[in-house]
Amino acid sequence: MRARFSGGSTGGCSHVRSGVTDDLRSSLRNVLWIGGATDSGKTSVARELARKHGLQAYHYDLYDRLESPGHWSRIDPARHPPMRAQQVEDPDWTWVDTTPEELVERWHETTPERFELTLEDLRAIPAWPPSVAEGYGFTPDLVLPLLSSPRQAIWLVASEEFKRASYVRRGKGAFEATRGPERARLEGASGDSFIDDYVLGLGRKFRQHFLQERRHEPD
C-alpha cells in the first residue's frame, strides 16, 4: 500500500463549488469522507472505521436505486434534469449499449445532483456519533469546500488487480442481468479508470488531500 499526501488547508478550494455556507460546512463537521472509484476498498475501510470507533456509516451505493429512500426515487425534474433523463430501468442501456466515454459523461452529469441528495441524507442523521460516508460520487471538487479540516477526507485509487479481486469477492451481479455480461464488465472497468484519472487529476490540482493507492490483493 502506498499513500500520497499533500499538505495545506481547505480554504484554497472554496471557489470550486458555489453555495457552500458556513452553516452547511458546520453541519457536516462530524462527517468523514472516503471517495474513489468502485472496488477500491471504500466500503471495507468505512465498515472497519465504523466498527472500531463506533461511527455511523453511510454507504452511497445503498442509495443508488429506484426504491425509496434511494436517490433515483427522489428526483425532482426541475432540480435534477440529468438524473431525470437517465432514469432508465434497462441494464443493457446502462452497461452494454454504451461506451466508457458515455458512461463517464453520464456520471459527470448526475454526480452533482446525487451529491445534493447525499447532503440531505447526511444532515438528516444525528450529528453524534460522527459519520463515515463512502461513495464513488464523492469527488474532491464536491467534497473539499465542505470540510472544516483537511483530515476529514481521503480518496482511494486501486490497482486493476485489486479491483478485479474485489469484484469477484463481493459477487456483484449487476452486469449479469445484461445480455452481454463480459462487455458490460469491460465497459464498467474502463469507466472506473476514467474516474480514477479524474480523482487523481483533481488531487494534483488542489494538492491538499490524501490519495491512497492500493497495490495488494484484498483479504
What pLDDT digit, counting tens, does each position of 181-202 carry? Answer: 776 676 677 777 777 788 777 7
Could you tell me the CA-to-CA distances from 56 to 31, 53, 134, 151 in Å, in that order?
A: 9, 9, 11, 18
Cell of 40: 477500491
> Is the pLDDT score of 8 beyond 50?
no
Q: Which fold has domain 2-214?
A: Rossmann fold (3.40.50)
Burial of 154 (0-12, 13-18, 19+ CB in 10 A): buried
Q: In what order do the strands lie in the sheet with 210-214?
A: 2-4, 210-214, 153-158, 31-35, 131-135, 56-59
Q: What angle do CA 65, 66, 68 make, to 5 degrees?
A: 95
Q: Could you tell me which residues are beta bridge partners of residue 131?
A: 31, 56
**Nearest to residue 118, comparing CAs of 103, 138, 146, 132?**
138
Convert the pLDDT of each residue in 135-158 to its tens digit: 999 998 899 999 998 889 988 877
User: What whole-number distance in Å separates Cα of residue 174 and Cα of residue 192?
Assistant: 15
**Cβ atoms 76, 87 nearer than 8 A:** no
Task: Give 163's pLDDT tier (boundaries 50, 70, 90).
Answer: low
